[in-house]
């Protein structure tokens, strides 16, 4: 049996408000998203802060749905097998500074692309990110093959107050565990 007291204490220690772990579904995003918004309502923040947190959540979920390698086919929907991606998502807060952290297993082949994208985004300021976002949308519209994952990362960088922090840890043969961390808000302890 899992020691729930230990789990509870850990959640408390790290100021975790919402934690989700398990299979990810497109429809599931609505449910968790609703919980996140409810949580944000308590702090009576301006719409822009709530939207920033919500948007980072949505883009991280979309990215995980697309790129998580930890999938196995379960169930069937309209004759189509559903591959649920797995991942972990955490929203936490302290003194009205929020942090959003996500983790998922990905194929080694995607690591270099994502790493170099994040490193580049971290060199840009807010106006630079806004400009880059539009450029990339236009580029991807010209190239219909693209799935828009890159744009999701830019959107995360635009809405975050901090730089995007990340780590890639070896997971198993051919697979890597990817963690991403950003903060939102200007309160004390906010990392720029």
Which residues form the interface with other proteins (CB under 8 A)?
26-27, 29-31, 33-34, 46-48, 51-52, 54-55, 58-59, 62, 65, 130, 133-134, 137-138, 140-141, 148, 151-152, 154-155, 159
Which CB atom, from 28 or from 92, has the smaller least distance to other proteins? 28
| Cα distances (angstroms) measured from residue 5 to each of 37, 55, 137 | 27, 32, 47
The kind and range of the H/E element at 157 are helix 149-159
Which CB atom, from 32 or from 97, has the smaller least distance to other proteins? 32
Least distance to other proteins from the beta carbon of 127, Å? 11
Which CB atom, from 11 or from 124, has the smaller least distance to other proteins? 124
Least distance to other proteins from the beta carbon of 169, Å? 26
Which CB atom, from 115 or from 134, has the smaller least distance to other proteins? 134
Tell me whether strands 175-184 and 97-107 are parallel, antiparallel or unpaired: antiparallel
Least distance to other proteins from the beta carbon of 153, Å? 9
Orientation angle between helical segments 28-41 and 47-67, nearest 10 degrees? 150
Least distance to other proteins from the beta carbon of 53, Å? 12
- Closest to 149 (Cα-Cα) out of 90, 99, 85, 95: 85
- Residues 111/180, Cβ–Cβ less than 8 Å: no
Which CB atom, from 116 or from 141, has the smaller least distance to other proteins? 141
- Closest to 25 (Cα-Cα) out of 60, 62, 69: 62
Least distance to other proteins from the beta carbon of 8, Å? 29
- Closest to 182 (Cα-Cα) out of 158, 159, 165: 165
């Amino acid at each position: 049996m899992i020691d729930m007291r230990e789990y509870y204490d850990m959640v408390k220690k790290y100021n975790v408000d919402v934690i989700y772990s398990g299979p990810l579904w497109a429809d599931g995003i609505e449910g968790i998203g609703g919980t996140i918004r409810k949580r944000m309502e308590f702090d009576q923040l301006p719409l822009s802060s709530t939207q920033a947190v919500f948007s980072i959540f949505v883009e991280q979920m979309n990215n995980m749905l697309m790129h998580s390698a930890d999938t196995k086919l379960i169930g069937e929907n309209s004759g189509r097998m559903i591959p649920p991606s797995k991942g972990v998502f955490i929203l936490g807060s302290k003194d009205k500074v929020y942090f959003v952290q996500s983790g998922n297993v990905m194929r080694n082949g995607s690591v270099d692309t994502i790493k170099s994208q994040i490193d580049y985004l971290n060199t840009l300021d807010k106006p630079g990110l806004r400009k880059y976002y539009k450029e990339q949308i236009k580029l991807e519209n010209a190239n219909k093959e693209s799935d828009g994952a890159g744009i999701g990362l830019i959107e995360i960088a635009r809405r975050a107050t901090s730089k995007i922090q990340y780590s890639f840890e070896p997971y198993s043969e051919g697979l890597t565990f990817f963690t991403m961390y950003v903060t939102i808000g200007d309160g004390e302890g906010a990392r720029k």
